[in-house]
Amino acid sequence: MSLSDYLFTSESVSEGHPDKVCDRVSDTVVDLFLAADPLSRVAVETLATTNFVVLAGEVRGPDTLDHEAFKKAAREAIKDIGYEQHGFHWRDAEITSHIHSQSADIAQGVDSADNKDEGAGDQGIMFGFACDETPQLMPAPIQYSHQILKAMAEDRKSGVQPGFGPDSKSQVTLKYEGGKPVRATSVVVSTQHDASLSQAEVREIVRPYVEKVLPAGWMPPEEEFYVNPTGRFVIGGPDGDCGLTGRKIIVDTYGGAAPHGGGAFSGKDPTKVDRSAAYAARYLAKNVVAAGLASRCTIQLSYAIGVSKPLSVYLNCDGTNQVDLNQLSQVLCELVDLSPRGIREHLGLSRPIYARTAAYGHFGREPEADGGFSWERTDLTEKLKTRFGA
């Protein structure tokens, strides 16, 4: 028997968090290549510390993209995040690039040739999830955590709230009754701030952002509303803590409310199924819930490097399904070709749409006109309803 009354917590981190700075830089390089050639291959990692950034990885694409182009792109990404601090400044930071050509051994396994279709860029398992807790069909704790920080960042960057710095974190704990969230029992927000602001002042600046995001009446008790609990957060970002690409994979997905295959997304082109298949699994799970065929849906896909078909497709709706799971799994595989090429083409993934995914979650976002967040579309719902007479 599953537990129906419980507390559950998820966290988010802002675009200025040191690991997210690195995710953003890596995804900016991905976009740089895909804008020049949609068939580029990119696997780029970033490290950031006090006024120092290192790029490393393997690529295949236009020769016009060189180390200077990579460093310029990194600097522009850091500028857009908003770092103009003594210990980390977009203009002054030393940036080095050790990006080199992709391994020929990997390329021959992934590329299509003769009768061989495009293979997966690596082996691995990927999960997708959706539930009816929020309009975005995301778990409520992670969705609210993202929304708090995103609203704060928008006001910081627009100048509405100049007291905020780029680096911040949030954490929301919700009380569930009968398996449904009913209120927040605690909220934690830590934000980098201007040195002139006291902890009490920062607390009151942050409060309306939390109140606006949480449903009415959901604010936790005053003693469970924590803002900068260390008391001071002036030194932040890569100057305060070293950052690396791919260290916030639970923040990127479902906040721990669903399984994660273990692979990071940022810095990878869409032939890497760590990224594209996780997007496809979310797309399918979201459409199942949006069609009313289940209130929760988890999908797992698995792949082998160089092999075009998924090795397995697993579906679990935690007993909330209104239709037969075996039939549902079969129909989903008929509606979407889950080969790496099929996913890439169905979702239009070979575009420069990835820098925007690097913070505030890859899921629970609005599909955009240029193809961004295409995996959040619910365009399969009518087909699913028709197939199942729903």
- The annotation places the binding site for ATP at 17, 167-169, 232-233, 241, 247-248, 264, 268
Phi first, then psi: what are they for 181, rounded to 5°?
Answer: -70, 135
Cβ contact 99:47 at 8 Å: no
29: left (phi over 0), alpha (psi -120 to 50) or beta: alpha
User: Which segments are annotated as binding site for L-methionine?
Assistant: 58, 102, 241, 272
H or E segment at 98? strand 94-101
Q: Which two tokens stand for residue 273?
A: 């199924």
What tokens does 266 get?
A: 């940022």
Which positions make up the binding site? 17, 19, 45, 58, 102, 167-169, 232-233, 241, 247-248, 264, 268, 272
Q: Which residues are annotated as a binding site for K(+)?
A: 45
Give the orientation angle of helix 199-213 with respect to helix 140-158, to 10 degrees: 120
Cβ pair 146, 136 in contact under 8 A:
no
- Provide the angle, in degrees to the nearest 10, between the axes of the packed helices 273-290 and 340-347: 60
Considering only CA atoms, which of 376, 373, 301 is closest in space to residue 338?
301
* Contact by Cβ (8 Å): 81, 243: no
Range list of H helices, the chain: 18-36, 67-81, 104-110, 140-158, 199-213, 249-252, 273-290, 325-335, 340-347, 381-388
Q: Which amino acid is at 290?
A: A
Residue 188: partners with Cβ closer than 8 Å, 6 or more residues away: 169, 170, 171, 172, 226, 227, 229
Give the annotated binding-site residues for Mg(2+).
Answer: 19
Grouping H, G, I as helix, E, B as strand and the rest as coil, residue 44 is strand
